[in-house]
Structure 1
Amino acid sequence: MAVKIILAKIADIDLVTSILNRVTLDLLEMGIRQWRYPWQPASVKKEIGLHNVYLVKVGEEVVGTFFLGTQQQIESLGVTRKALYLSRIAVLPDYQGMSFGTTILRFCEEAGVIAGLSVYLDCWSGNEKLKTFYQQQNCHYLGDFSEADYQISGFQLNLKDG
């Protein structure tokens, strides 16, 4: 199964929004409050315009998406230096458990190596399954941090700069 990761284009706004909405509804049904529903196409368009959105393809079928962008700092995780921030990893329910998450993490880790930057990511602190997955993928647990009305667990994917 050949997996390809490509940069999303403006024409992919509806596709990315649809994947995010479908995965969000699935998470909410499981009691996982990872994201709010529904996703707004305008926010997706903005991120695509910044070249921060990627598609995960198997053949010609898009099975997931994620956002990876450069940040000068990541306040929510206490990161005060330039870094890459991986967010909104969304793999369609029918394709979960097929190592796409691992493929995404390895892609982002390599992007960090190329850029000479560490990669940070987070999840809702109540998502024990995802927290365990990140730790199994050698992500360094940074701790839990307060957001507006919930807690997030922060992770560092690689230890390039500390």
Structure 2
Amino acid sequence: MIEKAKSSQIDQLLAITKACANTMQSLGIFQWNDYYPNAAAFIEDIKRGELYIYLEGNKIVGCIVISTKMDAVYKTVNWLAPTSNNYYIHRLAVHPDSQGRGIARTLMDFAEKLGAENKLVSIRLDTFSQNARNQKFYEARGYIRLDAIYFYNQSEYPFYCYEFLLPKKTS
């Protein structure tokens, strides 16, 4: 089940992202660290109503931020669609113990369906250039790799921006 996150769930979400960071680091992927993701980011996500959780029973096993806010770092990217009616995906995470069961795919399906229902033109995101698994995941979904951006507090390596054009509904 997917639902909006509550502030009382931040500690659980941080535990998930920390477990993900540890797993990625063990694989030589230094995408997330002690600075990111953090509680302050999740608090803002919840205030804006943009943080969703994936529940199995009462247990949170994944999360995704589906935002309409374009961060300044994205302004230099040559996007496929006009910038005005887009979703930005952040902090997609599935606890390592629950990975490989289609939860990330379900969360992205949810984001894309929500975007289509709200008549958005595209879904945008970035993923770490050193994380080939994530790149393959998004490209298999039809996301197009565009420009690279940098988050120097996270890594010296770039993050690749991706965009998926949502199908236009005809009435």
Q: TM-score, normalised by structure 1?
A: 0.86
Question: Are 1:109 and 1:158, in contact at CA under 8 Å, matched by a contact in 2?
Answer: no
Residues 94-153 of structure 1: CA deviation (Å, up to 9, x unaligned): 111111111111111011112222111111111111101111122222243344332111
Aligned 1:10-89 pairs, distance under 5 A: 10-38=7-35, 39-72=37-70, 74-75=74-75, 77-79=77-79, 81-82=83-84, 83-89=86-92
Name 2:158's counterpart in structure 1: 151
Q: Which has the higher contact order (CA 8 A, sep 6+)?
A: 2
Aligned identity (percent) is: 25
- How many residue pairs are counted as aligned between the two chains? 158
SS at structure 2 position matched to 1:71: coil
Aligned 1:95-110 pairs, distance under 5 A: 95-110=98-113
- Relative distance call for 1:50 and 1:76 in structure 2 (3 A) is farther
| Cα RMSD for the two superposed structures | 2.0
Gap regions ≥5 residues in structure 2: none
Q: TM-score, normalised by structure 2?
A: 0.82
Measure how far apart 1:30 and its partner are: 1.1
SS at structure 1 position matched to 2:53: strand
Distance of 1:158 and 1:93 partners within structure 2:
29
